[in-house]
Amino acid sequence: MRILLDKFSKSFGTTSVIEDMNLEVGSGEMLALLGPSGCGKSTTLFAICGIHRPTAGRILFGDRDVTNLPSQERNVGVVFQSYALYPHMTVEENIGFPLTVRRVAASDIKKQVAGIAALVHIDNLLDRKPSQLSGGQQQRVALARALIRRPDVLLLDEPLANLDAKLRLEMRSEIRRLQKETGITAILVTHDQVEAMSMCDRIAIMKSGEIVQVATPSQMYQDPRTAFVAGFLGNPPISFLKGKAAHGAFVSTDGKLQMTLPALSGIADGTALTLGIRPEHFGTAGNVPVEGKVTFAETQGRENLYDVVLPDGSVIRSIQPVRDDVTLGDQVRWGIDSKSAFVFAEDGTRL
């Protein structure tokens, strides 16, 4: 089911958190609300599920206006960051709770719980209490509880934040699998760009209550609209160099680096600019040579990671296939792939 936020605003008392936000999530789509903490993404999620009421604007599920409906009547499933399992109920009772409150017959509940528990692989834990489960198991219970009554919308509030690295990886694909299998419209709130990129069809990146860009993960990675988006996506993160425009080229502060970029053709000379270079676009293959000193070197097994300090003090990160001829303190001369470099204006917008 399609979800539409139309000029949605939310404020708490005098503090305005979100203003005039527009967002559409297509039916069956999984969308990530990505942003740093405090940017309003959980507030948006809580408004969609009805825990918070919008201050202004509309929320539509399909064509149905749910703006003023209480959560009970919205048919949404939510997985909370803390899972919010009921500690006094067994796993079975927890998962069956949405059906219990709808007075579904006990035998039906049992059947449905068994089905959904098998789907999330916890059918052997039904008699346990939440306190007897590991984090990953609790997460699955929360997911099963959110899914059991076949919600129109599945909302996930940082569902993987409390899991260890390995489990996080596992649950990432698990959630995606379930979402695809059930064909449910889902919104994932996260501050982890890897999670957002790996799990979702599209990402809406948020900054202080506003959506900066909505795009598919690869589009957003390759074509970020602002420096914030470019900086938020990618691991290891993008490096930024300060400079100025001069004759359709980017010139670094000390003038040693010059790079002609088609995006700068109409820009007045002397405009302050920021150049963004992803680590994979700085290395031996680049066409614009840069000289610097290696101040950090780390191997990640398949790849090596380097920090190169330029003479003016700025740092460019580089990621390259494993090599052992470069060590800490070496002077290197590597190239930047100018076609893949991003250039941003002073206010952060991409040129």
Partner 1 sequence: MRTSRTLGMVMIAPAAIMIFLFYLMPVVLTAIFAMTNMSTATGISGGAWQVTASAVNRLKTTLPELANGIAEPRFVIDEDGLKELEALKLKPGFATELRAQHIGGVYPSRREAERDIKALKDRPNTREVKQISDIFNRSVLNTRFESRDALMTSLDKLGFKLTPEQQQIVSDATYTGWVWTSENFSTIANSPDMLQILINTGIYVAVTLTLFNVTYALFLAVTTHYMPSNTASVFRAIWLLPRITPVVIYILLWKWMTWDNGFISLFLAQFGVPPKNYLLDSAYNAWFFVILINGFIGASMGMLVFSSAIKAIPQTQFHASEVDGASRWQQIRYIILPQLRWPILFVTCYQTLSLLASFQEIHLSTRGGPGKSTEVWSLAAFHTALNNYTGNLEYGLGAAMALVLVVVGLVLSLIYLRVFRYDTLISKPLIED
Binding site for partner 1 (CB under 8 A): 46, 49-51, 70-72, 74, 76-78, 80, 82, 84, 86-89, 97-98, 100-102, 145, 149
Residue nearer to partner 1 on the CB measure, 154 or 205? 154
Q: How far is the CB of 74 from partner 1 (least distance, A)?
A: 8
Q: How far is the CB of 207 from partner 1 (least distance, A)?
A: 25
Burial track 207-242 (b if 16+ CB lie within 10 A, e otherwise) = bebebbbbbebeebbeebbbbbbbbbbbebebbbbe
Q: How far is the CB of 276 from partner 1 (least distance, A)?
A: 39
Output the CA torsion 292→295→299→302 (10° steps). -20
Q: How far is the CB of 84 from partner 1 (least distance, A)?
A: 4
Residue nearer to partner 1 on the CB measure, 37 or 218? 37
Burial track 154-187 (b if 16+ CB lie within 10 A, e otherwise) = bbbbbbbeebeeebbeebbebbbebbeebebbbb
Spatial CB neighbours of 81, under 8 Å, sequence gap ≥ 6: 157, 158, 159, 161, 162
Q: Which amino acid is at 52?
A: H
195 φ/ψ angles, rounded to the nearest 5 degrees? -55, -50
Q: How far is the CB of 142 from partner 1 (least distance, A)?
A: 8
Residue nearer to partner 1 on the CB measure, 102 or 247? 102
Q: Which two tokens stand for residue 3?
A: 């979800």
Residue nearer to partner 1 on the CB measure, 33 or 341? 33
Residue nearer to partner 1 on the CB measure, 9 or 100? 100
